[in-house]
Structures are given as structure tokens and as C-alpha cells.
Structure 1
Amino acid sequence: MIGREEIEISEDKVADVFYAGDAPLNEASLYKLKSGPALAICFRLLNTDVHFVSLVRRILYETIYPPRDEAHDSESPWSPKTAFDRYKSYSPCKEEIWQHRKEEKVERKAGNLISLLPSREAIIEAIEASKNEKEQRKLQLLKTGNLEALAALNEKSDLNLATLASELSVVRLVLRLFVTLCNMEEEEEFVIDENEYFPPPGLLIPGFYAPPNDIAKTNGLAVLFPKLVRERVTPNPEFLPPHVLVLLEINKRYKAIETIAPYKHAIINMGIFEALSPYHSVHIAYTVKQFDTLDISSLNLDKLRLAFMMSMEVDVPLLHLMDLNPVFVSRDCATGEEECAAMFPVNYADDYDQFEDFN
């Protein structure tokens, strides 16, 4: 870990932090994010041969972890599941929130009272000290033969011990009475604001989020850890890595998604177009999932293409797509830059998760 920040996330900052990501930004998760500081952690992977984004996503979202205790059954909160499933929660209803607030108020009052009263340990120590003092005094009186003083000491010490024991019982009784009274008072004094906003119940609230692709990761680092980025990163002369355009027939869409899924980090942009060439295209859908929901009766399926804007920092992803016999591939990165720019404008998919096919 090379960076750790507690951040306040405002409405304006949400779009910046989660740009190109797949976090479920519903009413409940946004409400939770803005209700207090969020912890942002930056890790560094020393093995540069491993793709960091894929590794972290696999650890947090895909790996099934065994329960902490083998005795737990399948219904236990610690039954085998992914880290994401283990730490996610769902938005409670307003009655549950009010009840939780009542209980917190009672606990605070009880804690304040306990801090003012002598502790159980202090009373026990006092009793033991009194016993030891009594025994030492007895030995001295026996050595001197003062039997009258010895009898008086026995009577006095017994009274002191009885007083200390009584104090211990009183402490316990007072605490029990206090908790009972607090519960009764809360029912009468706790004010409920019916106009207070709460998110709808039952919405998913993730326990954490990790970027799903290099674009989201790079953006998150720049927004959350700008100092670390400035200290460690030398800006490239080009904003995007070298890239090419790949077009496949629409009937190969499912096979293409399955093939490229292990290398999704190499996809800069993707979409479905009606295209005779990169320079004569009409956008139809951002993803295969979105395309499958459309009425395609008016479309010419022979002209539909699944387009990928592929990074060429590593050529393995492109080689896998080549096995599907694409109808078009840029001849080099210089040409690919122009062809991709013709199909994918700068603001492409700003308002849509174009990587939902891989979720």
C-alpha cells in the first residue's frame, strides 16, 4: 500500500471518481457514500508482468473464500462466497434506521454513566487490599498478645468488607435499572422526523469498489491520488495507447465477447454500428446486451458490425480476435487512430457503461 486517503465524496465528485466504472450507483449507495468519509487505498504491484486491474477484480469479485469457521452452515454470513458478496449490504427501511438510532442513544447514555461510577475491578481490588491489610494487622496483634485489639479488628474489618460488597451490588443494580429506564424513556423522548429522506429499502450497497478496466483505474488514481501520480508518472506524449479498429459480423457477437473477456483491459471502446467502412457508420448500440433489447426488424443485419477499439500495447488480445476472421482490421496503429476517431468520438459512452457485457 502506497496511498491511503479518507475523502468526502460530493455529488459533483461521484462522476469523476467512478468514471468508466461499474459501481452500482443507486440512491442507497450514493446516500451512503455522501453520509461520511470514504476510505481510498492505492496499492502498488511490483510484478509488472501481471495485469493489476484483472488481478484485483479476480481477488475481490470472483474468488470464492471458505467460511471462517467450518462449523458454520450454508446460511451463515461466513458461508463460502466472494469478498464482494460477503461485505455488501442492502438499504434498510426507515423503521430499522430509527430503531438503530434509539439503541445507539441508549448505549451512549449507559457509557456515560459507567464512566462516572466505580468500576467492578476497582471494588474487587479494594476488597482484596482490605483483606491483606487485615491479615497483616492480625499477625502484629498476635505477636504482641493484644487479644482485645484483635477482636475489635475482626469486627471492624468484617463491616468494611460488607460495605464494599454492598457497593458492588449497588453498582450492578444501578446499571440494570439505568438501561431499563433508558429504554422506557426512549419510547417517549425519541423524536421521529417523518420528512427525513431515506433511500428506498432493498437497494444494493457495495462494501467496496475496484476499477474494472485501465481507463477507470487511471481516472481514479488521478482524482483520488493526484500527488502520487505526479511523483511517479511521466505523461506520455499521446493520451491514448497505440490502437487499431476491429470490425466483426454481428452474428459473431457472443463468441467475440466470450473470446475477448479475459483481455477486456485491452478494449478502449466498443459498440455496434451499421457500417460499410469506418468513415461511413451509424451507431446502433454500446453493448451486446443493449443491442439484444432493440427491435432490429428495420435494420440490415448484413451491414451490422461489432466494433472494438483495441490497445496495441500487448498484441495477444488482437490475435484472439483474429481467430474469429474479422471483416476489417486497421493495417497499422497510425491508420487505426484515424479510423477509431471516425467511429468513437471523444465523449463516446460518457453516459453508458460500454463494458456491461463483461460484468
Structure 2
Amino acid sequence: MDFNNIYSVLTDKKDNKYGKRIRESRYKLAPTASAYTNFLNNLKECENELREMFDTLVKYMYENLNGFGEIIAEDGKAIQSYVRRISEKNSGNRGERDANWCQKNYTTTKPDGEKVVKTKKWFGFRLHLLSDATYEMPVDFEVTKASNSEVKETEKMLDNIKEKYSEKLEQCRYFLADKGYDSTELTEWLTTEGVSQVIDIRNMWQGEETKQFKNTNIVYAYKGKVYYIADSGEKIELIYKGYDKSRDSQRYGFHPKYHDKRIFRIPLRTDLRIFTKVARNSKKWKRLYKKRTNIERVNGRIDRDFQFEKHTIRGLKKMKMFLNITFIIQLTLAKSKIESGITNGLARYIA
């Protein structure tokens, strides 16, 4: 149909198959509210098909982007439900029966050293997201009730990736996360798979400042700093000298001003949470950990650009559907840029 025919349809005063007449010369061509609701209800039942679309687009990124999936960041995002409590049984489709409450505490330190605990409490859901920290695009995700454990859901996602998409793990070199993911089980899992974890650490020593390494003059702190205790009692901080692959150990030595060339090796198995392939007190660890902020930008786009801060979604199944579609849109836009020869700024929603 050419433009003139379209124009004649829109200005025709008689009812026709192209739309319902509202006034003498205006037609409503958009779907009605009920048609839109029926469409979403039908789409909600296509969870497997939507997930297949997502996985296909992620696979495209692995195949067409250099280094995609080498540095993966994990984060859990709170998404409040449209309602604030479990709805009554007679509330119909407008009710909420899947969400629950969650409370999360954050400890911050003021400039004067005082520790302040901030509490965040919400009723709703939680998005568990694995994202490429270089290109700021999703790799895998899961949506659960708000109270579900971030660490346990991450372990489930990683197990699923290992079972179905083992090539993703082969590509992954570094796993970034905040201290909420500091877990012995997760650390051991990543180590077994050959992935270097760059995860902030919690202090679980209950008052201890340092621990002795075997029967030596070497002691270490929970954040990875290593010290030599001299005969005089002086505590000398040692300098990180690199990872020894042949012995799976970290190497430490004295600052040149001490004129002591001894090298001390601490095996990673001493404590996998503290001694990682990328040493916690190294510049490389700090540089990699800064990349974790990229996933916060991904979450920010979900809130800002897709308006998940102000939504009317109710129900876990519907929430999964909308988030899946959100990621499909992000990846599809990136795919179109790649096919046009653009590889920078793929996460932006402009050309």
C-alpha cells in the first residue's frame, strides 16, 4: 500500500478494517488495552523460547567480540514489586503472590574511621546478573524472590553454564564481585575451574589482626597483606613479587631499602579466600576490581532506560519475561552495531 492509500484510509469518515473510528476523521490504530494484556499473557508462557533467543544472542557476542566473557562481573539487583505486600486471594491478576521481603545491611566507614551500618529493605524480587565487564552486556541471569541468597543463586547459574555452555567457562579468566559473594564454596568452585576470583573479602577472624604462616616469621592479614616479624619485633610489610605458577604460590620479598633478597612463597591453598592468583594487594587486583562498576551501569540502564524503578509488574513469571525482553533488546541493538562494523559503545542505545 502506498502513502496515498494510507492517507485515504486515515482520513476516511467510514469505519473500515484498519481501525475503529473514534471521531469523524480520527482512527485508533494502536492495540486496545485488553489486546495488549492478552499479548503479554501469551508471551509470558513463552519463557523457554525467550530464553533461547537470549542464549543465541549471547553466543553471537562470544563469536564476534574479541575478549567477550573473559572478565565477568556478578551482582544482585533489588527490584521492588508494584505492590507492597502479598495480595488477597480475591485480587485476581492485579495481585502479587510471588514476592517477599528482604533486608540487606551495608557497612560503610566515615572519614574519621567510624563504621556506619545502613539497612535496605524491600518487598519484591532480585535479579542475579552475570555481565561482561568489558562490553557491559549480560552473559546470564536469573530472577528470584527478594530473599533468595545471592551466592547460592550464583552457584546455580555457574553450574548451569558448566553443564550447558562449558565454552563460556573456558573463555572466562576473571570473576568480579563485591564482598557479598565472599564464600569458601564459590571460591573453591572458581579455583577448580581455573577462574581467578577478584572478590572483595569479609573479615571473619573475629578480632584477630594477623595469622602466622606455618612455623615461620611470616604473618598475614585477612586482606592479603604479608609481613615479616624481625628478631627485634619489628613488623615489616613485604612487597608482592608475583605469582609462581609452578608452585601455585604467591611470592613476597623485602623492599630494596632493607638490602635483603630473600623470597618467601605462600601457597594459595593456605587460604583460597585470602591468597588468590591475582594478589589482593597488587595493582592488577585493584585495576580489575574497578571494572566491577561496569555492572552497576548495566543495572542503572535497567532502572533508568527501561523504567524498572517505576513499573506496574506483578508476579515472578511476568518479571522474568520483562527482564528477558530487556536483555534481548540490549543484545539485539548491540548485534546490529556489530554487523555495521561498530564495536565501541555497544551498550549505548544510540548509534
> Which category of TM-score, normalised to the shorter sequence, fits these structures?
under 0.3
More strand by share: 2
Instruction: Give the TM-score normalised by structure 2.
Output: 0.22
Comparing both structures, which one devotes a greater share of its residues to helix?
Answer: 1
TM-score between both structures, scaled by the size of structure 1: 0.22
